[in-house]
Chain A
Amino acid sequence: MSTTFNRRLLIVWLILTSMTLAYVWMDHTVDQNGTLRASTVVTVSAIVIALIKVRIIFREFMEVRHAPAWLCRLTDAWVVLIAACLLGSYFVGSAVS
Chain B
Amino acid sequence: MPNLGLFNYWVVIVLMMTGFYTVIARGNLIKKLIGLNVFQVSVFMLYISMANVKGGTAPIIFEGAKIYSNPLPHVLILTAIVVGVSTTSLGLALVVRIKEAFGTIEEDDIRRLEEEA
- Chain A partners chain B: no
